[in-house]
Every structure is written in C-alpha cells, then in structure tokens.
Amino acid sequence: MSIPNEALQKIVQEIETRAVTAQQQINLVKAQISSKQRDARLVQLTANEIGSLPKDTNVYEGVGKMFVATPIPVIDKRLSAERDELKSDISNLEKKLQYLETTHKNSRENIEQILRSGTRA
C-alpha cells in the first residue's frame, strides 16, 4: 500500500512548514531568554548596589520625569519581586524552548523518514 506522490508531497510540505515555524519560534524564544537574563543581571546589580549602602541613605527612584525618595526596604522588596518574576519567566521560556526544539527535531526526523521510505518504493 503506497501513498500517492501528491499526498506524500503535501505531507512533507506540512511537516516542513511546522519545522520552519518551530525554528523561527526557537530563535524568538532564545532572544527573549537573553533579554530576560540581561534584565535579571541588571536587577541583581542594582540590588547589590542598594545593599551596600548604609540604611539611612536617601535613595531616589525615577518616576516618569521626576525622582521620588523611596525607603531602601521598599526598593529591596520591589527588586526581590522583579527577580522572582524574571526567574519564573526564564524558567517558562526554557521549557517552551525545549518543547520547540523537540518539535523541530521530530519534524526533521519525520521528513527524513518519509524521504528514505519514498526512495525505496
């Protein structure tokens, strides 16, 4: 029982489209992970700088076009929340990346399998 060439071509084309889409999404997710890691590094550096200051230091945060005096514990709490959110985002993006890489690999293997079986027929 052999599959007609037109049907086989259509299947290969669909799998190829899936593989190309997965590759594009892989590149996008890698860029997002890189951006989130850069943001996490910036938050960590800011927290280190804030942590090295004496507790009675006046600290100001930018809000729009002005600066507002903010207590150090409030800034620490915000930075900690940002750090946790970024870690969660990076973890979720890494899971998505793993899924997309698996999808891409499986699509490529399916195409190779179809091509191998098509040449034997």
pLDDT of 7 strictly over 90: no
Confidence of residue 120 (pLDDT cuts 50, 70, 90): low
Question: What is the C-alpha separation between 103 and 109, in angstroms, rounded?
Answer: 10
pLDDT of 121 strictly over 60: no
Question: What is the C-alpha separation between 20 and 13, in angstroms, rounded?
Answer: 10
The domain ranges of the chain are 5-119
pLDDT of residue 8: 77
Query: Which whole number is the average pLDDT over 32-42?
Result: 97
What Å distances lie between residue 58 and 1, 35, 50, 72, CA to CA?
A: 80, 30, 11, 8
What is the pLDDT of the chain when averaged over all its residues?
90
Dump pLDDT digits (tens) for 42-78. 999 999 999 999 988 899 999 999 999 999 999 999 9
pLDDT of residue 1: 46
User: pLDDT higher for 111 or 64?
Assistant: 64
pLDDT of residue 80: 96
Fold of the domain built from segment(s) 5-119: Helix Hairpins (1.10.287)
